[in-house]
Structure 1
Amino acid sequence: MESIILIVHILLALGIIGFVMLQQGKGADAGASFGGGASQTVFGSSGSGNFLSRSTAILATVFFITSLALAVYASQKAKSVTDLGIPSEEVIEKLEQDTPVVEEYAPSSDAPELDASVSDEPAVEKPAN
């Protein structure tokens, strides 16, 4: 259900962007008084103001409703700290008791001794003076 609301929410956002981009600005009416623009509208000579304004308002209302629904879902998922994956103090203590302690490595007596003169660095010859 949450994914359906999220998809609808994204589509509504794109729809609002589209309808806002189609609307004319406040200064566009001044040019229409000189005879331009009124006959070139897709929605007739009355203009597209009513249709686009109402459509944008409806889309914005549904967008706010889906925003609230998503907020409710998110708050239900994170009701307590245990829902976030953080273990409680009891669980941490239990894990500390059950975890074996690793002792420091001590070579056994039958293991061969490493030569101290052998190193990982390449040998560099010193120039003779």
Structure 2
Amino acid sequence: MFYYFLTQQVKALVQGMADAFPGGVLVFDAANRTAVKMIAKTWLRTAKIKDVGAYFAVSDAPKEIGEWDSRLQVTSRGYMLGYNDLKDPSVSGFFRFLAKVGDNGMKMQIVKIRFGGKK
């Protein structure tokens, strides 16, 4: 859902949540600018949605989001890796390929933000 907001809006929301929920955790998916542009071209066009103009994107969530506020402890892992162990023999070669493209090339990731104490 954050894809459809400006970075400043996401930052304000996260900081507001840190104020309201010290000790809380927020988890969401994110991707780099290239991936988000692809989402806009495919998913939004397919859904016939035309009035979305803001696209939140990050490549290195711990570094980029972590700089927003000292109370944020940010970690991330690859989006595809967040759901499957790619070393498991039951994982198909195609899924491994998608994981490599998505997680590495497009920086698709699951982001976890733990909210620390007060400022």
Question: Which structure has more strand as a fraction of its residues?
Answer: 2
Question: Which structure has more helix as a fraction of its residues?
Answer: 1
TM-score, normalized by length of structure 2? 0.23
Does 1 or 2 have the higher relative contact order (CA < 8 Å, sep 6+)?
2
TM-score, normalized by length of structure 1? 0.21
